[in-house]
Structure 1
Amino acid sequence: MSDQEKTIVSKDSITVQSPGRINIIGEHTDYNDGFVFPAAVDLVVKVHLKKNGSEQTVNITATDLKEKYTIDLQKFSPIGPGWQNYVMGVIAELQKLGAHITGFDASFSGNVPIGGGMSSSAALECSFAYAINEVFDLGFSTNQLIKASQMAEHNFVGTKCGIMDQFASMMGKKDQVILLDCRSLEHKYFPLELGDYQILLLDTNVSHALASSEYNTRRSECEIGVAHLKKDLPGIKNLRDVTLEQLEARKGDLEEVIYKRSHHVISENERVIKATEALENGDHKLLGQLVYQSHFSLQNDYEVSCPELDFLVQETLDKDYILGSRMMGGGFGGCTINIIKKDMVETFIDLASKSYQDKFGLELTPIITNIGDGTKSIG
């Protein structure tokens, strides 16, 4: 936090915002110790948090949902699906790190689409982690807050996510994408310079119930792949350590589904590195080709797409003003991310909206967003 920010934070209260994120390429690689290429956006969750003088009572208001929830800091546990688990999870993880947290009142609201694959959950987790750390003067590092936010999702929500979403939300920089090594957390910022092109998101407005359970299944399938490959390759820790050549040489030893899952992760890691080089070199056409390859791998090898996402990607294939399109996020709904010529955005939105409505009877929501800063105090 800058000195200027510190001057506007009173001892007892703070207002924090954390952004959602996009991911140019690198899907389902983070929990395999791989590479990702995300960026924070200017859609955010805002949290206002204030000590309430009690020893153990926390009152949370979800302003947009008009819901309230009270937590006893000495006795709380996960409930059924809901935003409450994300907040309680963050508190629990900070307590595990030794934090002494007393009672507070907090409210939050935001404009990150829920279920859109833009990590509204990470934005919520990171904003609470940052706010609690500041108000209670806990002194945790940014990496500790990122990890606590990730583990909140593991332990209270039940989604064994990688670290990309929380890292991008906390560490984003305006107009920059992040090449993140999810094993070491080494990272490098790249200006998102697309020339005559821009990013367009299309929200399918569907979120299939499979998403959470299948996410954890995919993680298990990757772990099975590693266990089999370790018999011949004892030095590997994760699919990150395996080359496509090594995988192909052992294809006959793996169940087909395990081979396919492994093939996606290993090839996607390669695509991420190629994509960063393409962006640096201004080769937007190659970047677009890699984005398409990512989608077809997610569709066919990882099997986390859905008819609505596949339809939207298919709609772009004959458009010479679109360089690339793919599903973004965990899958089974959410958004496609498209690299599209700036002067054709409105035309394509009209075309895609009509064809999507005709096909599925659903409204398509276009999202034009800018690359923004990561988590910060705003008052």
Structure 2
Amino acid sequence: MNMNSNLKYDIVIESPGRINLIGEHVDYSGGHVLPASIDKKITLRFRRNNSETCKVYSENFKNHFEINLNDLKRSEIEWHNYIIGVIFHINVLKPNSIKGFDCNIYSNLPLGSGVSSSAALECGVAKGLNELFDIGLTDLEIINISKDAEHTFVGTKCGIMDQFAVVKGAEDHLLLLNCETLEHELIPADFGDYRIILLNTNVSHNLATSEYNIRRDECSTALEAINKKYPQYTLLAQVSPEIIQEFENILPHKIFNRALYITKENRRTLYAVECLKNKDIIGFGEWVYKSHRGLTNLFEVSCEELDFLVDYTHNLDYVVGARMMGGGFGGCTINIIHKDYCEEFINIISPAYQEKFNINLTPITVAIGNGVSKI
């Protein structure tokens, strides 16, 4: 079955990937993050098929599968579960609201690169089904349905940042999100003469999901210990670095480092936003570099390839900030580079990476765009 994208569809949805400037791994601890939706997207086309079966075709994978609405269960193929999970959780919230449909999916988002193709797919499916069947879901319901699908059907205990950015993103703006209260502020993405370039390592060390869940559990362990003395805190990011320091000789070293990273990264995000508001791009970049050091040394989610790319930029005056982005153990670095040197940067770092690791580096220039939308 090839559900050609040239056939007539009732609804077309564009669902973007996202970048995150700073505030990594803090969303599930209630911290502040600074993501944005980007111009790289998944396009999803939907039409009703007047049956009890859903037929989904991926143009990228050249593969299709069918879903029986009366027998929703996890698939052994991971990408199927993002879609099945969304349907399941819509049915929990709005029973019997979904009927049979056909869906054609095309993506220009690089998989496994840290730009959250998973959240783009989840939110795109939820948005499309909401429009196709006039279900009446709010943006927040789409965000939570998508997050719950990833928790229960995919098995990644993600926070809310990715889905929130995909749904609420706005062109030329960053999104300062308080992941505890979901209060958010649109921050103009004014980088002056600087541009954002992602460098895709094209490596995945197959640790991202398992280690992601372990980090979340380690943060919970830290909070449980802190609560014995300070029961008022419900989320780790609420705790100040000064209080965390009191537990240096109480917590296991690794657990202490995880907690210290979370509380420092939360502060870094707020300091970085102030720099951006004051048009201090150099100061902003310094906080981005400090974020990477924390991710490498305290949170331990980086890898040799990511560290090489970030370290390489330290000797380049036209790069003001760089760090790993996403869950870690591969994927992309995000780099803030003077517009006059973007081509030069790519031309010198790509062969250096190739020589070091015998892997091709993929540069990705991104612009900040709108969130998921019907077109």
TM-score (norm 2): 0.96
Q: Residue in 2 aligned with 1:182?
A: 179
Q: Does 1:148 align with 2:141?
A: no
Structure 1 residue 80: Cα displacement: 2.2
2:115 to 114, 118, 143: 118
In structure 2, runs of 5+ residues without a counterpart are 1-8
**Percent identity for Structure 1 against Structure 2:** 47
Secondary structure of residue in 2 paired with 1:252: coil
Alignment of 1:53-202 (within 5 A): 53-54=50-51, 56-100=52-96, 101-202=98-199
Q: Does 1:325 align with 2:322?
A: yes
Secondary structure of residue in 1 paired with 2:102: strand
Structure 1 residue 269: Cα displacement: 0.2
Contact kept in structure 2, 1:230 and 1:236, CA below 8 Å: yes
Secondary structure of residue in 1 paired with 2:66: strand
Cα distance in 1 between the residues matched to 2:80 and 2:95? 20
| AA matched with 1:57 | T
Cα distance in 2 between the residues matched to 1:349 and 1:285? 21
| AA matched with 1:199 | I
2:236 to 227, 234, 239: 239
Cα distance in 1 between the residues matched to 2:90 and 2:72? 14
Cα distance in 2 between the residues matched to 1:135 and 1:340? 42
Cα distance in 2 between the residues matched to 1:198 and 1:98? 43
Q: Can you list the C-alpha shifts for 1:106-152, whole angstroms capped at 9, x where unaligned?
A: 11111011000000011111110001111111111110000000110
Alignment of 1:1-379 (within 5 A): 13-54=10-51, 56-100=52-96, 101-378=98-375
Q: Residue in 1 aligned with 2:4?
A: none
| AA matched with 1:212 | T
Cα distance in 2 between the residues matched to 1:20 and 1:98? 27
Q: Residue in 2 aligned with 1:6?
A: none
Q: Residue in 2 aligned with 1:9?
A: none
Q: Can you list the C-alpha shifts for 1:157-195, whole angstroms capped at 9, x where unaligned?
A: 000000111110111100000000111111000111111
Cα distance in 1 between the residues matched to 2:95 and 2:183? 26
| AA matched with 2:157 | K
| AA matched with 1:307 | E
Secondary structure of residue in 1 paired with 2:310: helix
CA RMSD of aligned residues (A): 0.9
Cα distance in 2 between the residues matched to 1:195 and 1:177? 14
Moved over 6 A (4+): none
Secondary structure of residue in 1 paired with 2:78: coil
| AA matched with 1:277 | E
Structure 1 residue 196: Cα displacement: 1.4
Structure 1 residue 345: Cα displacement: 0.8
Cα distance in 1 between the residues matched to 2:29 and 2:13? 31
Cα distance in 2 between the residues matched to 1:99 and 1:376? 24
Structure 1 residue 81: Cα displacement: 4.0
In structure 1, runs of 5+ residues without a counterpart are 1-11
Cα distance in 1 between the residues matched to 2:224 and 2:326? 26
Equivalent pairs counted in the alignment come to: 366
Cα distance in 2 between the residues matched to 1:196 and 1:170? 28
Cα distance in 2 between the residues matched to 1:133 and 1:195? 38
Secondary structure of residue in 1 paired with 2:16: strand
Secondary structure of residue in 2 paired with 1:251: coil
| AA matched with 1:220 | D
Secondary structure of residue in 1 paired with 2:249: helix
Secondary structure of residue in 2 paired with 1:234: coil
Secondary structure of residue in 2 paired with 1:75: coil
| AA matched with 1:61 | Y
Cα distance in 2 between the residues matched to 1:322 and 1:52? 52
Cα distance in 2 between the residues matched to 1:81 and 1:368? 30
Secondary structure of residue in 1 paired with 2:273: helix
Cα distance in 1 between the residues matched to 2:20 and 2:308? 20
Cα distance in 2 between the residues matched to 1:99 and 1:349? 51
Cα distance in 2 between the residues matched to 1:312 and 1:240? 29
Cα distance in 2 between the residues matched to 1:98 and 1:200? 41
Cα distance in 1 between the residues matched to 2:238 and 2:340? 42
TM-score (norm 1): 0.95
Cα distance in 1 between the residues matched to 2:153 and 2:64? 18
Secondary structure of residue in 2 paired with 1:233: coil
